[in-house]
Structure 1
């Protein structure tokens, strides 16, 4: 697994730009793939990494990983604009194979764990959206206010769409409801249970659902 990480980073990141702390970049990548679709503050990352430097360095390295289509940190959507600073990034690993490769758990074990399966599905949805919308007018963020959260927010011009991913039993859509109250003009979309079937979503370019 370490050799896989080394190969990916050497090919896609380390050869393309001078990195002052290559060991830190490797650690950050290794940490990120264990937190798919999770919101992780930079301070928490600092606490789990050796010789981490500061949050500015971590943010820059996360940006480099995103540029290589490995891992991206989604920003917080707030008041119709993307908050670029101070928000905790939501980590999306842009290929689920990178999440699965270090795991010693079987598919059945993950499938039978609602939380782990939920993160894996949510990460896959986020990766599909990010990869599809790259280099388009659309941006992808997430929204959180108090205890309410929306998995993804897509914005293109004046159009805003809140997206909730459902991977298990249908539940209350408290996050989407709160999002609608905060942004009455926004549209909403459910992917998974009670919404767009996952297989249909993954087999279609993501922007198809937003136009």
Structure 2
């Protein structure tokens, strides 16, 4: 079993809150993680459990031994009312560990959000650090502590990095050796788990149009979200496009990265960027199942940027600090892939798929640094092997190899 970066965060949350919601996509390892805590365990995939909880949520919760883990609660969001009543009668930290493969707290059926009674934490697919038995390594913490000089690169062949990107982060994929077997798993994942969760979170009259939509947005990962263009390309109404995007966010298949803005920033683009939440799912939808194919693909740049986004999202989620992530784009076409902000500190990150990096690759980061009064660290991730400095006396800028994620 992989040791997860979130484990200590989960333990701390249970110590300070009567209920904790561990949410994330199906098959990311939520149940495995929860079972390691040795709590009483019930799962609402079980029809009898689901019926009992639906018909009498208060009585059902009162009858359970505590502490308890309740798995897949998006199937019975009514249970939150029973949990609220039980907590108000006997508030004891750590009594309820809830899991869901949809964002239950955003679901229409969830009449009570347990405000003041619950902490929500998210489990993402495996990070490369978790796969390589380094769950405590957090690049975001290292960057904000200004400790880049202490980072050691990882010896890994570039083609092996591409293979890891193609595999993605779902634990089950690492039990499968053949490309065909992995393709069969991803087909099954989309046709069973994704479809099932979509039905849990909202009304879906036409599953085939939804799956077609899911395939159509894959090549748009890393792109600015334009609902009008999506509606035109898919033959759907803008309202349906908005609904599908919202549901995909709720089951953790996509993220919409908000734009960075500041008080001086009427010139900033206001659109979000769309990202797939797992590079393995993305590569499967793009028909990329081999490192050589990825190396030659016209989608290579977007796939690698999606991979970096996926890894940054995990490191941000598990960081000791509260960090916000944005993208940066101005009306005069200055772009920076990612902006990470912690208070007054900012990290500006660009992603390059090439093996070499040039001073010109930092031009938009340098422009941003020169125009801002805040402390900004500039980073370009690239396909090389070494850490290189491109900064000056006033502004720090580094080229960092992708192998730092491993």
TM over 0.5, shorter chain: yes
Q: Deviations over 1:71-105 (max 9, x none)?
A: 1111111117999xx83321211111111112335
Mean CA deviation greater in 164-173 or 134-143: 134-143
Match of 2:342 in 1: 156
Q: How does 1:71-150 map to 2 (within 5 A)?
A: 71-79=254-262, 87-105=270-288, 106-113=290-297, 115-134=298-317, 137-145=322-330, 146-150=332-336
Secondary structure of the residue that 2:202 maps to in structure 1?
A: coil
The unaligned stretches of length 5 or more in structure 1 are: 204-211
From 190, 197, 204, the counterpart of 2:380: 190
1:69 to 252, 258, 271: 252
Equivalenced residue count is 196
Distance 1:5 1:190, change over 3 A: same
Query: Hey, what's the Cα distance between the residues in 2 that align with 1:80 and 1:22?
Result: 44
Distance 1:80 1:100 in 2: 38
The residue aligned with 1:208 is none
CA–CA distance in structure 1, aligned partners of residues 315 and 206 of structure 2: 29
| Inter-CA distance 21–159: structure 2 relative to 1 (3 Å threshold) | farther
When you count strand as a share of all residues, which structure comes out higher? 1
- 1:18 aligned to 2:202? yes
- 1:22-42 per-residue CA deviation (whole Å, 9 max, x = no partner) reads 545434422222222222322
Higher mean displacement: 2-11 or 148-157? 2-11
Q: In the aligned structure 2, how far is the partner of 1:67 from the partner of 1:134?
A: 17
- For the residue of structure 1 that corresponds to 2:286, the secondary structure is coil
The answer to whether the 8 A contact 1:151-1:163 is kept is: yes
1:49–1:135 CA distance, 2 compared to 1 (3 A): farther
Gaps of 5+ in 2: 1-185, 389-398
Counterparts of 1:81 and 1:18, CA distance in 2:
40
Equivalent of residue 179 in structure 1, options 368, 374, 384: 368
SS in 2 for 1:64: helix
The 3 A distance-change label for structure 1 pair 102 and 13 is same
When structure 1 is superposed on structure 2, of 140-149 and 100-109 the one drifting more is: 100-109
Taking a change above 3 Å as real, the CA distance of residues 69 and 132 of structure 1, as seen in their structure-2 partners, is farther
Deviates more, 1:23-32 or 1:148-157: 23-32
Q: What is the distance in 1 between the residues matched to 2:263 and 2:216?
A: 31
Report the TM-score when normalising by structure 1: 0.77
Conservation of the 8 A alpha-carbon contact between 1:139 and 1:155: yes
The equivalences for 1:29-40 within 5 A come to 29-40=214-225
RMSD of aligned Cα (Å): 3.0
What SS is found at the alignment partner of 2:221? Answer: coil
TM-score, normalisation: structure 2: 0.43
Distance change in 2, residues 1:112/1:52 (3 Å): same
